């Protein structure tokens, strides 16, 4: 291609051609295969550069998010092996009773934070496999519009198809807390907290909020302390812990 | 491609393109363990597997952003096959090492092949463009960087202390030069055939 062709490509892409010039250009594209191929490559190279430079910050943010989630995931699997050894029931009982005693005194003296200050949920996008597309969309929509009463039965039906889907379990638990169905919610949280998964720290955070809503402050604290430093939820967990003291 | 061909798992692609943490976590939860298992069984370790997963997700992100990637098969099979083939390539390149391939999970699923090949071609093109951009020469490099970083060609002209007309013309000629270098490379010729 000649220099003038490249200038023409750029003018076409930036909509700087007059109508008749544009028509001539499009006609040549249809008739001249080399011209067509060169233009396609020009367009693609521009898109590449656009993505490389204009979307640089966005792309860096995506990369950072990937490593954070990847690290959290492998961190979960590594620490879980250690934890199994440490969790002797008597130690747990001692720890829990210390928390109860200490928590009791402290909670008497300071104003305590409330659930509604912390209960803000991101918009969800359900990742469901199989032929349950519509129901998932409906559940997603109900959850995102805070219609938890409607979301609960939908999540439950979805769980019948995928009993092991921790994502659905987590959202169902959150909706149950919103509707004050604590026993059912806490049972779900218990099973979510037992196993390492990509949702472990999120589950810990929302399990703690469930306890907060039930005004069980000692348990709230105990769960919050499980959230490790590298987790996304760590800063807000620490903030809430400070307020609980 | 008609809209009806798009698989419902397109939501994973969209979620990646939107940097949606919920979706990314779901991918790590559901699909990454299989890849990690495969790599660990085939001469790799967990860390290498995690890097591989991140690299593949980044390519999918890039393709979704620049080429409006539309998935026509289940994400699970697509993602796994991409990772697997990339891992086998890595092993091939580092052939000093003795390699044992434990081929248990065979994906003979036809509809998966095409999107996987498309993504691989996209990745090859991306690295070819990047390689050629690094070789294009300092003047063009600076002008193109500014052209896509700044909002308008007026600003580019000002930043480089040249006239608006010159900046505009030079931009097209530099992209033209880049496309010429790409077209002449053997990698591009290979992709065409």
* Residue extents of the structural domains in chain A: 3-54, 89-244
Mean pLDDT calculated for residue range B83-104 = 74
What per-residue confidence (pLDDT) applies to A85? 47
Q: Check CB contact under 8 Å for A51 and B62.
A: yes
Q: Check CB contact under 8 Å for B74 and A129.
A: yes
What per-residue confidence (pLDDT) applies to A84? 45
The model's confidence at residue A66, banded by pLDDT at 50, 70 and 90, is very high
| Whether CATH 3.40.50.720 fits A89-244 | no
> How far is residue B27's CA from residue B44's CA, in Å, rounded to a whole number?
21
Task: Report the C-alpha dihedral over residues B23, A51, A46, B136, rounded to 10 degrees.
Answer: -130
Report the candidate in A120, A113, A158, A121 with the shortest Cα–Cα distance to residue A138: A158
Are the C-beta atoms of A218 and A100 separated by less than 8 Å?
A: yes
Domains of chain B and CATH, by start: 3-108 (1.10.1740), 135-192 (no CATH)
* A138 touching chain B per CB within 8 A: no
What per-residue confidence (pLDDT) applies to A116? 76
Say whether pLDDT at B178 is over 80.
yes
Mean pLDDT calculated for residue range A38-63 = 93
What per-residue confidence (pLDDT) applies to A83? 43
Mean pLDDT calculated for residue range B53-57 = 97
Is the dihedral angle over the CA atoms A71, A74, A80, A81 positive or is it negative? negative
pTM: 0.62
> How far is residue B24's CA from residue B130's CA, in Å, rounded to a whole number?
26
What per-residue confidence (pLDDT) applies to B106? 47
Residues 85-124, chain B, touching A (beta carbon < 8 A) = none
- The whole-chain average pLDDT of chain A stands at 82
Say whether pLDDT at A237 is over 80.
yes
Q: A194-198, B99-103, B143-147 — which is least confidently predicted?
A: B99-103
SS (H, E, C) chain A: CCHHHHHHHHHHHCCCCCHHHHHHHHHHHHHCHHHHHHHHHHHHHHHHHHHHHHCHHHHHHHHHHHHHHHHHHHHHHHHHHHHHHHCCHHHHHHHHHHHHHHHHHHHHHCCCCCHHHHCCCCCCCCCCCCCCHHHHHHHHHHHHCCCHHHHHHHHHHHHHHCCCCHHHHHHHHHHHHHCCCHHHHHHHHHHHHHCCCCCHHHHHHHHHHHHHHCCCHHHHHHHHCCCCCCCCCHHHHHHHHHHHC
What are the chain A neighbours of B179 within 8 Å (beta carbons)? 1, 6, 38, 41-42, 45
The model's confidence at residue B96, banded by pLDDT at 50, 70 and 90, is low
User: How far from each other are the two terminal CA atoms of chain A, in whole angstroms?
Assistant: 73
Say whether pLDDT at A218 is over 60.
yes
What per-residue confidence (pLDDT) applies to A111? 60
Report the candidate in B77, B64, B87 with the shortest Cα–Cα distance to residue B114: B77
- Contacts by residues A180-184 (CB-CB < 8 Å, ≥ 24 positions apart): A180/A213, A181/A152, A182/A210, A182/A213, A182/A214
Q: Check CB contact under 8 Å for A41 and B182.
A: yes
Are the C-beta atoms of B34 and B79 separated by less than 8 Å?
A: no
% residues pLDDT > 70 (chain A): 81
Mean pLDDT calculated for residue range B132-146 = 95
Among A132, A198, A231, the residue to mutate for chain B (most B Cβ within 10 A): A198
Q: Check CB contact under 8 Å for A198 and B176.
A: no
Q: CB atoms < 10 A from the CB of A207, how many? A: 26
What per-residue confidence (pLDDT) applies to B99? 56
The model's confidence at residue B50, banded by pLDDT at 50, 70 and 90, is very high
Q: Note the pLDDT tens digit of each residue in A106-160.
A: 554 446 677 877 777 767 777 555 555 778 888 888 887 788 888 899 888 888 8
Q: A92-96, A138-142, A208-212, B183-187 — which is least confidently predicted?
A: A92-96
Q: Note the pLDDT tens digit of each residue in A158-178.
A: 888 888 888 888 889 999 998
Q: Check CB contact under 8 Å for A41 and B179.
A: yes
* A114 touching chain B per CB within 8 A: no
Report the candidate in A116, A188, A145, A66 with the shortest Cα–Cα distance to residue B60: A66
What per-residue confidence (pLDDT) applies to A233? 85
Q: What tokens appear for B84 in the block?
A: 């697997």
% residues pLDDT > 90 (chain A): 31
């Amino acid at each position: 291609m000649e220099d003038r062709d490249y200038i023409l490509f750029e003018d076409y892409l930036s909509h700087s051609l007059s109508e008749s010039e544009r028509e001539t250009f499009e006609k040549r594209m249809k008739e001249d295969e080399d011209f067509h191929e060169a233009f396609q490559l020009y367009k693609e190279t521009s898109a590449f550069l656009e993505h490389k430079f204009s979307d640089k910050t966005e792309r860096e943010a995506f990369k950072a998010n990937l490593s954070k989630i990847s690290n959290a995931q492998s961190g979960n699997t590594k620490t879980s092996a250690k934890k199994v050894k440490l969790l002797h029931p008597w130690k747990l009982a001692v720890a829990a009773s210390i928390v109860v005693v200490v928590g009791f005194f402290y909670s008497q003296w300071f104003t305590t934070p409330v659930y509604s200050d912390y209960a803000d949920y991101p918009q969800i996008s359900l990742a469901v496999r199989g032929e349950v597309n519509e129901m998932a969309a409906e559940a997603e929509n109900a959850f995102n519009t805070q219609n938890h009463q409607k979301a609960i039965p939908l999540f439950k039906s979805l769980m019948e198809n995928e009993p092991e889907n921790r994502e659905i379990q987590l959202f169902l638990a959150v909706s149950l807390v919103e509707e004050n169905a604590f026993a059912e919610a806490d049972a779900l949280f218990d099973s979510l907290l037992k196993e390492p998964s990509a949702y472990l720290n999120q589950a810990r955070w929302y399990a703690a909020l469930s306890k907060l809503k039930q005004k069980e402050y000692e348990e709230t604290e105990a769960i919050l302390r499980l959230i490790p430093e590298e987790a996304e939820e760590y800063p807000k967990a620490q903030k809430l812990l400070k307020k609980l003291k | 491609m008609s809209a009806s061909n798009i698989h419902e798992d397109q939501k994973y692609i969209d979620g990646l393109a939107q940097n949606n943490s919920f979706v990314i976590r779901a991918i790590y939860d559901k699909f990454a363990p299989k890849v990690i298992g495969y790599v660990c069984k085939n001469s790799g370790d967990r860390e290498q597997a995690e890097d591989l997963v991140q690299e593949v997700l980044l390519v999918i992100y890039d393709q979704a952003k620049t080429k409006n990637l539309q998935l026509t098969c289940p994400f699970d099979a697509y993602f796994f096959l991409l990772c697997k083939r990339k891992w086998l390539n890595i092993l091939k390149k580092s052939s000093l090492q003795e390699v044992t391939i434990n081929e248990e999970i065979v994906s003979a699923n036809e509809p998966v092949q095409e999107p996987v090949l498309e993504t691989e071609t996209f990745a090859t093109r991306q690295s070819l463009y990047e390689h050629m951009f690094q070789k294009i020469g300092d003047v063009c490099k600076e002008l193109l960087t500014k052209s896509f970083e700044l909002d308008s060609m007026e600003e580019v002209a000002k930043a480089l202390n040249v006239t608006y007309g010159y900046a505009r013309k030079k931009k097209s000629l530099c992209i033209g030069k880049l496309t010429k270098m790409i077209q002449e490379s053997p990698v591009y010729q290979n992709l065409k055939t």
